[in-house]
Every structure is written in structure tokens, then in C-alpha cells.
Amino acid sequence: MGINVGKNYGAWKNVGGSFDDLRVENGLVTKKKNKYSFSFSDAEFIQINIPGIYMVYGDILFKQQQMYFSPTNEVPDMIKMRFTLSGSGTIFNRINKQQYIFNSNQQNIIYMPELDGTGQYDTGQCYRFFEVHFAKEKFLQLAEHSTKALQVLADHIDTGYYMQLGDHNLPISWPMQHCIRDILDCDYPEGLKHLFIESKCIELLVLQAEAFERSISQKQPAALSSNYDRECIYQARDYLIQNIHQPPSVAELAKICGINEFKLKQGFKGVFDNSIFGYLSDYRLNHAKELLLDGISIKSVAFMLGYSSVQHFSNAFRKKFAVTPGKLKG
């Protein structure tokens, strides 16, 4: 993806290849897989390129918390659809003096023409992400007659203004996860592969736009009287995901996040359209499905996600997806 990273200023490595490495000939799909091992991280990238759209799936284990990023002239002007699948990180861009926060199971659309700054990452777990980069012209064309939120974003992008679709990231929905897996696992013949991948990228854009449009249109819950309360709700969501194996009680979560139980329960429902533990249950089961499809055993998945028994996990899984974990694995 042509990003320069290093452990201190002046010591840079180009990670993820470059767009020049992924030239598209006759409209065909180009796919590359690379592994890197540096003093500051071990990383694996899958890069997919079609005309006007570039995708990258990254799996990174950071060996140090702080990273440095320098500008590179080789990356064309593109709009990034960002999906943080696991791990957490924060980037501060000195150019526009903006901080970007990435937490597990969160998504946003970002326009950042240039990056020169620092990143802070959790070294305790793998940082996995999936990105779809639309060429600026293609994105503006798609956004022209879409939702109000996308049109506002497009207007800012057209003038070169650094912008995010939402001030706060939103959860990655199961349909979004399904689209991502479809793109990575696509095995259609070359002629159909281009059409399929492009359609899935546009579907992801639609799903993100719809999620943010719904979030904007929802009436702010009466229980949330300040920005502080809203920040507490997002903190509660993040803490739940980070402690998925042993989630706290509502009372414990309220104390951890500095908000009373009433505001926490009402605010969570208003922001995420789900109860606290309804959200946690959906997240665990969707994550379990991904792990099963990745080949991890049913027993291991049940244990990893904190279920009291394999039977309990199987019953919950069948209730949500109308199929047993065993049948899913085939």
C-alpha cells in the first residue's frame, strides 16, 4: 500500500508494496500476498487490485507500541473504507492535527490525502484490518446520488479536505464481515472475478453509508445529556469487546466507564440499537462464525469466547444462524 513506517524518524521501511506493484492489465484482477519481518513488527498482507479500487487485508503483530509514518508520493489520491477486525490503534496525523482511533470491530470511511505522524498500537494481540481504497474520481461518482452523509463527505473530498464519514466509528455488521470474506475467498474465473469483487466493494460502501445514515438520523437518547455520556457508551462497547471472555456485569461496566447504570443501559440501546448483552452475544457469535470458517475447532472456539460448555455454544449458534457449528464447518 506504499506506506513508510519505522521505529524512529529517519528510519523508514516501505510496507505493503505499492500501487505500481499492482498494475492492472486489460481490467484483470491482480492479487498478491507478502510477509514482512522487521524489528518493530511482523506482518502479512493480501493485496487485491482492480481498476479504480485497491484492497488490502493486513495481519500485523507489533513488537513496539509507537510507530512513525512518513509521507510517500507513490500513493494516488484515494478514499479509504477502513474495517478494524481485531486489535486497537491510534494514529495522530501532524498534517491536519487529527487523531484517528481504531478499535476492534469498528469501521469508518476516511479521506487522508497525506500522513505524517505517529501511531500507538497494542502489542498484546494481532492487529487485523481490511481496507477498500476507491480512486477519488470513482468514489465521487458513486457518492453523487447517494445518501446525504456520503454527499457531504464527497463535497469535502472534492476540495481536498481531510474528512471522516463519522466522528465516531461504528460497529462492523455481520453483512459487512460476510462481504469481506467473500472478497478474500473469491474463486470465480478471471472474467467474473472482476465483476464480483467490484460489486462486493460497492455493497460494502452501501452498508457503511446506510449504517452512518441510520446513526445520524436516530434521535439522541434523552439519557445522553452530554458528549461525555456518549463517549462513555463507546468506551463501554470497547471494553465489552476487549473482555469478551469474561464480560463485566452492568454495574461493573458502569463503574469502569464512569456513568450510572440507567444512562449506560438507555444510552447503549439508543446508540447501538441493542441491549448491552444482546450486542455482546451477537458480536461473540459472529466472531465465532469467522473463527470456525478459519478452521478453528468447535471446542476451541467455545473456550476462546467464554462459553460455559460446547453444548451451550452450539445451542446459541444454532439459534442465531439456524445451523449447527458442525454443519458450518462441513
> What is the residue-level pLDDT of the chain in tens, covering all 330 positions?
344 555 544 333 444 444 444 444 556 788 999 998 888 889 999 999 999 999 999 999 988 888 888 776 666 788 999 999 988 889 998 888 888 888 888 999 999 888 888 888 888 788 899 999 999 999 998 988 888 888 888 888 887 888 888 888 998 988 999 999 999 999 998 889 999 999 999 999 999 999 988 877 765 555 566 778 888 888 898 888 888 878 888 889 999 999 998 888 888 888 887 888 888 888 888 888 888 888 889 999 988 888 878 888 888 888 888 888 988 876
- What is d(CA 172, CA 282) in angstroms, rounded to the nearest whole number? 11
pTM of the entire structure?
0.68
CA atoms within 13 A on the CB side of 284: 25
Per the CB < 8 A criterion, the answer to whether 47 and 56 are in contact is yes
Domain ranges of the chain: 3-217, 227-329
What kind and span of H or E run contains 137? helix 136-143
Q: Please, is 198 exposed, middle or buried when counting C-beta atoms within 10 Å of its C-beta (0-12, 13-18, 19+)?
A: middle
Distance CA(209)–CA(215), nearest Å, equals: 10
- Sign of the dihedral through C-alpha 92, 85, 132, 61: positive
The whole-number pLDDT of residue 222 equals 52
Within 10 angstroms of residue 318's Cβ, the number of other Cβ atoms is 15
Distances (CA, A) of 21 to 47, 119, 162, 291: 10, 25, 27, 31
Instruction: Dump strand ranges (E) for 1-70.
Output: 3-8, 11-15, 30-37, 41-50, 53-62, 66-70
Locus of grid cell 466522528: 167
DSSP 3-state assignment of 168? coil
Q: Which class in CATH covers the domain with range 227-329?
A: mainly alpha
N- to C-terminal Cα separation, the chain:
35
Q: Are 170 and 212 in contact (CB under 8 A)?
A: yes
The per-residue pLDDT for 256 is 93
Alpha helices, DSSP H, located in 144-297: 148-158, 174-185, 190-217, 227-242, 250-257, 261-272, 276-293
The pLDDT value recorded for residue 4 is 52
pLDDT score of 224: 62
Rounded Cα distance, 204 and 210, in Å = 10
CATH superfamily of domain region 3-217: Jelly Rolls (2.60.120.10)
In CATH terms, are 3-217 and 227-329 the same topology?
Answer: no
